[in-house]
Structure 1
Amino acid sequence: MDQALDEDHPLDDRRMEAVQAALEAGDGVTLSVLLEPLHAADIADLLEQIGPSGRRDLLALWSPQMDGDILSELDESIREEVIAALPPEVLAEAVRDLETDDVVDLLEDLEEPQQEAILDALDVSDRAAVEQALTWPEHSAGRLMQREVVMAPQDWTVGQAIDFLRGAEDLPDQFYHVILVDARMKPKGYVTLGRILSARRDMALRDIVEDSFRTVAATDEEADVAYIFNQYHLISCPVVDENDRLVGVITIDDAMAVLDEEHEEDMLRLAGVGDDSNLSDGPFETAKVRLPWLVANLATASLSAFVISRFEATITQLVVLAALMPIVASTGGIAGTQALAVSVRALATRDLTRANTRRVVLRELGAGFLNGLGLAIILGLAGALIFGSPLLGAVLAGAMIVNQIVAALGGVLVPLTLDRLGLDPALASGTFVTTLTDVMGFFAFLGLATVFLI
């Protein structure tokens, strides 16, 4: 085996080829040597890349070394398959050291038999904590939080907190704050570990609390929680129940994972491929996700065909129009996609609100006009020079200005309207905006040509 594998790029071609060779040879020793230095996230990526048969072979040879962190890093699309292939004792060992939020994340997308297998592997206290977390609504802070919380009475001193932390045997693997609570378990503030270590032992904890302290309710949407983390630069945030009592804590890694998922879903939905598309899907699953959007696009494209058919006489008399009209429509489609991407992103980050809607719409209107004017000058001159018809160039220029304005307005007004209706603006905006720019592009160009050229 080549020992000069690139540790900076752990899944480079050489390592992947070596893994494939070890799987084909059934060489578990070599496979262990290849996988041992890899991070859990890299092994999860490898499992996603090698295909179903390769996964089965790898798990058969290497499953006793499976780590719970690998299961947490796996894409949801193959996680169930991997868990089903693991022997019960291996699964039990893998999940036993996970934090409760990671166990909940594993359970959410599994069938009931596999959920029971994981729950049975947990200690009684951990199982009770996980089952309690699962009672909270899906995609809520209660599902996202971990139950392992480091807290201290609000009247403690730094010295008492340090002694407690040094003597505790079951602290979380990672935590950033000590949360201060009153006698009724209501959080009153938190102190970073750095402030505790740098303060005098006799200093009261309440005197060194962080100004960033805030709480979220267990029923809050996880997307709202992620926004709070991003907006206020939080590291962790206590979670409270309906009585404002501390029930858990959310850390920055989980909040950022939610943001990443939201961004990925928006990107996939804007492309019309659904939010569950994965490279590990087979041809049938891939086609099943994409076909409905293609059918929808086929229906909307029929509107463009209808508009073109209304100007059949115009096109017959001036055939060159058929060659030129896609220029106006396609350029408008690109402009609409640009405005749409900015608007959907602004809605997701809550930068586009009712307060600034008018300003944003006017900005897009102005940008659309200026873009249209610039393109109109280029296209108008080209049309006049190439076809020897200044009037044809003027028609092209006018249609371009109209469609650029329509594209810019559609790119912001369509997602805004869907958002006001309570619909996901990333889900259907692309289809509406493309249809709008195509229809208006053809209508403006052929309509102006009919009036001025025929």
Structure 2
Amino acid sequence: MPEAFEQDYPLQQLKQVTKSLNSGQFVQVRRMLAKTAPCDTALLLESSPHKIRRLLWQLVDPDVQGDVLEELSEDVRLGIIAQMEPKHIAAATEDMGHDDLGEVLRSLPDTVYKDVVSAMDIQDRERATQALSYQERSAGALMNTDTVTIRPDVTLDVVLRYIRLRGELPEGTDDLYVVDKHNCFIGALSLSTLLTNPPEKIVRDLMDEDCESIPISMDESEVAQLFERHNWISAPVVDDNDQLLGRVTIDDIVDVIREDAEHSLLSLAGLDDEEDTFAPVLKSSKKRSVWLGVNLLTALAAAFVASFFEGTLDVLPILAVLNGIVPSMGGVAGSQSLTLVIRGIAVGHINQTNQRFLMMKELAIGALNGILWSLLIAGVIALWQWDFMLGGVLAFAMFMNLVVAGVAGASIPIILKRMNIDPALAGSVVLTTVTDIVGIFAFLGTATWLLI
């Protein structure tokens, strides 16, 4: 990469590319892209507005377009694929790995997918069929089939000669997988063991028979947790009969961890983690409008509850001023519990055995916070309005809402998870509805009862 681009990447490169495009120096841009790694080209495309992105893609060398497609987020990839002919898509996916091929093909619309498969040769068509045969977001969809297998009854010298004949090892190889004559996985031989032991040693005597394999149907988030816990670089993937099918490598796990983190963060705001930052205005507006509509419904539900106490608000206008305090405090407290529990579910910390303890913990935290802030707000209101009864009403409502918010924040993600609903996406909406309605009802209801 040119030295001018090494700092503040991709900002400097994006400025240079934009300047060259605006001045019509397309040959210069093509040369820049030719010297740029596919992952950096993908970053440059994702960092560019829609019109510049279309022009940049036309200047990318067709020989590396497949590598660039692998690195793009789904939304950006779909936008680029939409301007490609099916035969060009088929050519770009020709040298893709098993996992990347499946990911790209799954993102295609049905009509485009059929045209792309038709444009493939027989061998690539079989690869595509196999890649799509595994469930999405499973170990099968994540794995590559580029494994190096050896037999247990050969010497290390035979293994070394076999590797020399191959000429190269698949990227990310740290273990050679030992299989029997039926291709059943029985162990692993690390490269360090291979290189540091006498060549006359037998593989069976040195292999790791306790090497853990990954079931083909395991969810990719669970696979990522195993990699994180065991500090793996790669791991074998097997079917129900222990037959070796492929392997998962750490570079794919990094993508899974990043995607899960982005999903948890953006879902709280109702955004798609694959959404294109520079997507057209109408497309982005359409996606966000759905979430705004849901939030409008929850706000209307809270307003509907408040409408039952119009008479109370007419008699005591100060209640309208104070009415937003209780739902606001409950929303913040509930969001803290909600975020903590969603994270616990994502990393596998929360299960059937500790859910009860978690609920009791959040109940206790809600009660303690409720006592602290209720006493504080009661004192403030009593001194401000010289009305101890009003301060007591607000304190009681805040205590109740903080307790409910703590329990709701802990229980809502667990309940949604059991219903196969994404807690990160729906949890905040449900929680806001609960804390708003409980807060308004507790405050205005108690005020109607005691002050009117």
Give the partner amino acid of 1:10: Y
Q: Which moved more, 1:49-58 or 1:438-447?
A: 49-58
Give the partner amino acid of 1:177: D
Q: Counterparts of 1:27-176 in structure 2 under 5 Å?
A: 27-64=25-62, 66-85=64-83, 94-111=92-109, 115=113, 125=123, 127-169=125-167, 171-176=169-174
Q: Which moved more, 1:16-25 or 1:196-205?
A: 196-205
| Structure 2 counterpart SS, 1:202 | coil
* Distance change >3 Å, CA 280–CA 209, structure 1 → 2: farther
* Distance change >3 Å, CA 295–CA 81, structure 1 → 2: closer
| Structure 1 counterpart SS, 2:247 | strand
Q: Which moved more, 1:142-151 or 1:434-443?
A: 142-151
Q: Does the alignment pair 1:442 with 2:440?
A: yes
Q: CA deviation at 1:333?
A: 0.6
| Structure 2 counterpart SS, 1:239 | strand
**2:294 corresponds to which residue?**
296
| Structure 2 counterpart SS, 1:184 | coil
Q: Which moved more, 1:306-315 or 1:399-408?
A: 306-315
Q: Does the alignment pair 1:411 with 2:409?
A: yes
Q: CA deviation at 1:112?
A: 5.5
TM-score under structure 2 normalisation? 0.90
**1:329 corresponds to which residue?**
327
Q: Does the alignment pair 1:426 with 2:424?
A: yes
Q: CA deviation at 1:357?
A: 0.7
* Distance change >3 Å, CA 218–CA 234, structure 1 → 2: same
Q: Distance in 2 between matches of 1:257 and 1:279?
A: 18
- Identity of matched residues, %: 35
Q: CA deviation at 1:6?
A: 4.7
Q: CA deviation at 1:440?
A: 0.9
Q: Counterparts of 1:356-435 in structure 2 under 5 Å?
A: 356-435=354-433
| Structure 1 counterpart SS, 2:188 | strand
Q: Distance in 2 between matches of 1:213 and 1:333?
A: 47
**2:6 corresponds to which residue?**
7
* Distance change >3 Å, CA 382–CA 411, structure 1 → 2: same
Q: Which moved more, 1:356-365 or 1:220-229?
A: 220-229
Q: CA deviation at 1:400?
A: 1.5
Give the partner amino acid of 1:336: G
Q: Distance in 2 between matches of 1:146 and 1:122?
A: 20
Q: Does the alignment pair 1:222 with 2:220?
A: yes
Q: CA deviation at 1:156?
A: 2.5
Q: Distance in 2 between matches of 1:364 and 1:112?
A: 47
Q: Which moved more, 1:394-403 or 1:162-171?
A: 162-171
Q: CA deviation at 1:285?
A: 1.9
* Distance change >3 Å, CA 179–CA 122, structure 1 → 2: farther
Cα displacement string for residues 337-374 of structure 1 (whole angstroms, at most 9, x for unaligned residues): 11111111211222111100111001101111122222
* Distance change >3 Å, CA 369–CA 130, structure 1 → 2: same
Q: Distance in 2 between matches of 1:121 and 1:159?
A: 44
Give the partner amino acid of 2:388: P
**2:310 corresponds to which residue?**
312
Q: Distance in 2 between matches of 1:429 and 1:404?
A: 17
Give the partner amino acid of 1:321: L
Q: Counterparts of 1:15-26 in structure 2 under 5 Å?
A: 15-26=13-24
Q: CA deviation at 1:126?
A: 5.3
CA contact (8 A) 1:63 1:86 kept: no
Q: Distance in 1 between matches of 2:167 and 2:90?
A: 22
Give the partner amino acid of 1:370: L
Cα displacement string for residues 84-128 of structure 1 (whole angstroms, at most 9, x for unaligned residues): 545788766654443222222222212467556766887765553
Q: CA deviation at 1:307?
A: 1.9
The number of residue pairs the alignment matches comes to 451
| Structure 2 counterpart SS, 1:451 | helix
Deviating beyond 6 angstroms after TM superposition, the runs of 4 or more aligned structure 1 residues are 87-90, 120-123
Give the partner amino acid of 1:235: I
CA contact (8 A) 1:190 1:209 kept: yes
Q: Distance in 1 between matches of 2:312 and 2:448?
A: 6
Q: Distance in 1 between matches of 2:109 and 2:358?
A: 46
Q: Distance in 2 between matches of 1:93 and 1:9?
A: 33
- Gapped runs of 5+ residues in structure 1? none
Give the partner amino acid of 1:26: G
Q: CA deviation at 1:416?
A: 1.4
Q: Distance in 1 between matches of 2:283 and 2:188?
A: 47
Q: CA deviation at 1:312?
A: 1.8
Q: Distance in 1 between matches of 2:114 and 2:301?
A: 52
**2:200 corresponds to which residue?**
202
Give the partner amino acid of 1:241: D
| Structure 1 counterpart SS, 2:237 | strand
Give the partner amino acid of 1:9: D
Q: Distance in 2 between matches of 1:137 and 1:365?
A: 39
- Gapped runs of 5+ residues in structure 2? none
Q: Which moved more, 1:78-87 or 1:138-147?
A: 78-87
| Structure 2 counterpart SS, 1:178 | strand
Cα displacement string for residues 184-235 of structure 1 (whole angstroms, at most 9, x for unaligned residues): 1101111222222222223333333347622223233333333333343332
| Structure 2 counterpart SS, 1:355 | coil
**2:248 corresponds to which residue?**
250
| Structure 2 counterpart SS, 1:340 | helix
Q: Distance in 1 between matches of 2:306 and 2:88?
A: 64
Cα displacement string for residues 361-416 of structure 1 (whole angstroms, at most 9, x for unaligned residues): 01101111122222223322221222222332222222221111111100011111
Q: Distance in 2 between matches of 1:182 and 1:62?
A: 45
CA contact (8 A) 1:47 1:55 kept: yes
Cα displacement string for residues 217-276 of structure 1 (whole angstroms, at most 9, x for unaligned residues): 323333333333334333222222343211211112223322332332233332223454
CA contact (8 A) 1:91 1:118 kept: yes
Q: Aligned to 1:269, which of 256, 267, 270?
A: 267
CA contact (8 A) 2:172 2:234 kept: no
| Structure 2 counterpart SS, 1:56 | helix
Cα displacement string for residues 33-88 of structure 1 (whole angstroms, at most 9, x for unaligned residues): 54355432221121122223212222333444634321110111121333454578
CA contact (8 A) 1:95 1:122 kept: no
